[in-house]
């Protein structure tokens, strides 16, 4: 089996260039469709909705349910920690650059949002799947008969968990705070604990009435508790989306071996019908993601005029997202892979995913948020142009080549 040490840096860079260029060409077709009017904004929204609600869940199920196991599910607990560390470093870089560039609070929030919300979907998923079938040395020796399909499945799993955590934070903290003009959002009236539990002074002759009153309040407190619990449950259900539901079903199928065998056994009826249909639908997802990515990069005629600090905001967002965090996170990832022999850190595709996520451009979904909130829309278009059109190709080549170099270094003394 070829490993990372058996090929030169130039060959790895060339293989990465081929994979990235493949992604760029498909994305450019989406740009061309938007330019010619073949794919207008409304069409982009319809395709995005189809992708999120149908094709991407099928891709997730076809990849994860087949290759997941109970042991792997327990191992992926390190990913939320990786997300928290990455987000913290990116937040600090955004704040630092905002201070150096002397930006006001709204401009600071814009730079911070672009710094912490990187693309964990379209570009990383497409690049990871392409690299899984191209780069040597990505097979994990801890898995018997590992192959490129399993490598791609694990890569999608790692990216999916990272993506869903980011999705929740992006559409809560990002949408409501970072990418919205500052101002009075209303003040909620709070009631102190003493006011909630205030009990009138009772005499001995009113003991029976007091007992009845306290009993009624206990019942009321129970009803309030039940109502709060119901609200939390409803919020969790509301926060779920088709990709998340697909991930849940994938875990269920993977943990119940007879069902997993029925879905994916060779020459089985369910495998030859339902599973194959889901796999075909999932195969549409990545090309459509890239087509929509390219179409989103085409400038809209409705984009408002840029502000006076346009260049500062674009520069701060790009450096705060793709450059400064990499200087901190990439050495941390490299040292963790070298010296911490825990869980999935030994998996080569996890290392590649970690590097890709660290250097990825700002998330495309930030365009939707800025449009909804009418918040620095022109600056957001500039950030996407520099992040994807100009820098994504050279930085991706650097990131993947560096990841393979780290993998070679980590395996030297093993």
> Do 397 and 17 touch, CB atoms closer than 8 A?
yes
133 three-state secondary structure: coil
In what helix (H) or strand (E) does residue 90 lie, and over which residues does it extend?
Answer: helix 78-100
- Helix, strand, coil fractions of the chain, as percent rounded to 5: 75, 0, 25
- Residues 206, 18: Cα–Cα separation, whole Å: 85
Neighbours of 54 (CB within 10 A): 15
**pTM for the full model?**
0.74
> Do 60 and 160 touch, CB atoms closer than 8 A?
yes
203 within a domain of the structure (yes/no): no
- Residues 31, 1: Cα–Cα separation, whole Å: 39
Per mean pLDDT, which of 27-36, 89-98, 143-152 is the most reliable?
A: 89-98
Q: For residue 364, what are the domain limits?
A: 4-181+233-298+306-411
Q: Per DSSP, which regions of 172-214 are E strands?
A: none
153 within a domain of the structure (yes/no): yes
114 within a domain of the structure (yes/no): yes
135 within a domain of the structure (yes/no): yes
206 within a domain of the structure (yes/no): no
Q: At what angle do helices 9-35 and 285-296 cross, to 10 degrees?
A: 70
> Do 358 and 333 touch, CB atoms closer than 8 A?
yes
Structural domain count, the chain: 1
216 within a domain of the structure (yes/no): no
155 within a domain of the structure (yes/no): yes
224 within a domain of the structure (yes/no): no
For residue 217, name the pLDDT band (cuts at 50, 70, 90).
low
pLDDT tens by residue, 20-32: 888 888 889 999 9
Neighbours of 342 (CB within 10 A): 9
β-bridge mates for residue 362, sequence order: 118
Tell me, what CATH number does 86's domain have? 1.20.1530
- Which is higher by pLDDT, 57 or 211? 57
pLDDT tens by residue, 104-147: 999 999 999 999 999 887 788 888 888 888 888 888 887 778 88
Structure letter (DSSP) for residue 224: H
- Which is higher by pLDDT, 201 or 327? 327
């Amino acid at each position: 089996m070829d490993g990372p040490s058996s090929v030169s840096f130039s060959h790895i860079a060339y293989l990465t260039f081929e994979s990235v260029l493949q992604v760029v060409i498909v994305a450019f077709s989406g740009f061309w469709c938007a330019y010619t009017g073949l794919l207008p904004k409304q069409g982009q929204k319809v395709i995005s909705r189809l992708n999120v609600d149908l094709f991407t869940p099928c891709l997730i199920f076809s990849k994860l349910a087949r290759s997941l196991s109970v042991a792997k599910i327990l191992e992926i607990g390190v990913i939320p920690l990786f997300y928290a560390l990455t987000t913290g470093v990116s937040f600090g870089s955004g704040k630092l650059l905002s201070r150096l560039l002397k930006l006001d609070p709204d401009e600071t929030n814009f730079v911070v949002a672009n710094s912490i919300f990187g693309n964990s979907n379209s570009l990383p998923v497409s690049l990871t799947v392409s690299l899984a079938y191209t780069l040597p040395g990505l097979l994990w020796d801890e898995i018997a008969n590992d192959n490129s399909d399993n490598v791609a499945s694990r890569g999608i799993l790692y990216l999916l968990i990272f993506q869903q955590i980011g999705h929740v934070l992006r559409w809560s903290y990002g949408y409501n705070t970072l990418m919205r003009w500052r101002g009075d959002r209303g003040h909620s009236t709070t009631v102190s604990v003493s006011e909630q539990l205030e009990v009138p002074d009772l005499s001995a002759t009113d003991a029976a009435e007091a007992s009845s009153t306290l009993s009624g309040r206990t019942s009321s407190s129970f009803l309030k508790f039940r109502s709060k619990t119901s609200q939390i449950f409803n919020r969790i259900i509301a926060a779920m989306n088709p990709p998340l539901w697909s991930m849940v079903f994938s875990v269920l199928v993977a943990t119940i071996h007879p069902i997993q065998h029925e879905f994916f056994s060779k020459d089985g009826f369910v495998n030859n019908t339902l599973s194959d249909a889901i796999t075909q639908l999932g195969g549409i997802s990545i090309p459509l993601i890239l087509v929509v990515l390219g179409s989103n990069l085409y400038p809209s005629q409705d984009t408002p005029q840029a502000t006076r600090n346009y260049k500062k905001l674009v520069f701060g967002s790009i450096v705060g997202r793709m450059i400064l965090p990499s200087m901190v996170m990439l050495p941390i990832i490299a040292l963790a892979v070298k010296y911490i022999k825990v869980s999935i850190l030994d998996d080569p595709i996890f290392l590649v995913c970690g590097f890709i996520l660290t250097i990825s451009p700002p998330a495309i979904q930030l365009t939707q948020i800025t449009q909804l909130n009418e918040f620095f829309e022109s600056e957001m278009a500039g950030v996407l142009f520099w992040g994807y059109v100009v820098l994504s190709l050279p930085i991706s080549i650097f990131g993947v080549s560096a990841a393979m170099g780290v993998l070679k270094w980590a395996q030297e003394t093993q």
